[in-house]
């Protein structure tokens, strides 16, 4: 892949997976926070950091994102990450999609916590999602 194309690809990843500065201090949404903490307790041994998670208007097609500054590649400091979930899924009928998104983003936070190479939905992230699926995290969600 030519360097210019690689850069474009990397920037796309950065936008979609949040290697961008999070917005200023933001309070968590109580419902999203509860789901995140339930996921943390059930599947991550409470090792994910207590980070802001909130609804936000995101670009069309983006369900959610984990944004972490100083993480190119991931730097192991997930404490500075934030999770944003598209407000499109805030309506009652679509809440299961939001729960799914919280689990998805939790695996990204885990990648940041372990300073794994930026591979987006690569092997480590896939392993995390499979672990959650095997543990029943997606029961009633798929
Ligand atoms: Zn993702």
Q: What is the pLDDT of residues 20-50, one digit of tens each?
A: 554 557 889 999 999 999 999 999 999 999 9
Ligand 1 center–CA 28 separation, angstroms: 20
Ligand 1 center–CA 133 separation, angstroms: 16
Ligand 1 center–CA 104 separation, angstroms: 6
Ligand 1 center–CA 14 separation, angstroms: 11
Ligand 1 center–CA 2 separation, angstroms: 25
Q: Is 48 left (phi over 0), alpha (psi -120 to 50) or beta?
A: beta
What's the domain range around 54? 3-134
**Position 140 in a domain:** no
Q: What is the pLDDT of residues 83-110, one digit of tens each?
A: 999 999 999 999 999 999 999 999 999 9
**Position 124 in a domain:** yes
**Position 142 in a domain:** no
Q: How far apart are the C-alpha atoms of 80 and 51, rounded to whole Å?
A: 7
Mean pLDDT of 49-76: 84
- Tokens 């670009």 correspond to 59
Ligand 1 center–CA 121 separation, angstroms: 6
Q: How far apart are the C-alpha atoms of 113 and 58, rounded to whole Å?
A: 24
Ligand 1 center–CA 87 separation, angstroms: 17
**Which pTM does this prediction carry?**
0.79
**Position 119 in a domain:** yes
Q: How far apart are the C-alpha atoms of 16 and 115, rounded to whole Å?
A: 18
The number of distinct structural domains making up the chain is: 1
**Position 46 in a domain:** yes
**Position 102 in a domain:** yes
Ligand 1 center–CA 142 separation, angstroms: 17
Q: How far apart are the C-alpha atoms of 78 and 32, rounded to whole Å?
A: 18
**Position 123 in a domain:** yes
**Position 86 in a domain:** yes
Ligand 1 center–CA 117 separation, angstroms: 14
């Amino acid at each position: 892949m030519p360097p210019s194309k690689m850069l474009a690809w990397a920037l796309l990843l950065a936008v979609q997976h949040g290697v961008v500065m999070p917005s200023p201090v933001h309070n968590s949404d109580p419902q999203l926070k509860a789901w995140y903490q339930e996921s943390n307790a059930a599947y991550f041994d409470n090792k994910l950091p207590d980070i802001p998670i909130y609804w936000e208007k995101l670009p069309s097609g983006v369900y959610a994102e984990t944004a972490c500054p100083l993480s190119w590649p991931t730097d192991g400091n997930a404490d500075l990450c934030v999770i944003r979930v598209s407000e499109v899924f805030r309506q009652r009928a679509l809440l299961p999609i939001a729960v799914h998104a919280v689990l998805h983003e939790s695996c990204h936070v885990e990648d940041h916590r372990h300073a794994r190479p930026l591979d987006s939905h690569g092997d480590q992230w896939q392993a995390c999602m499979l672990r959650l699926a095997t543990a029943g995290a997606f029961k009633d969600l798929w």
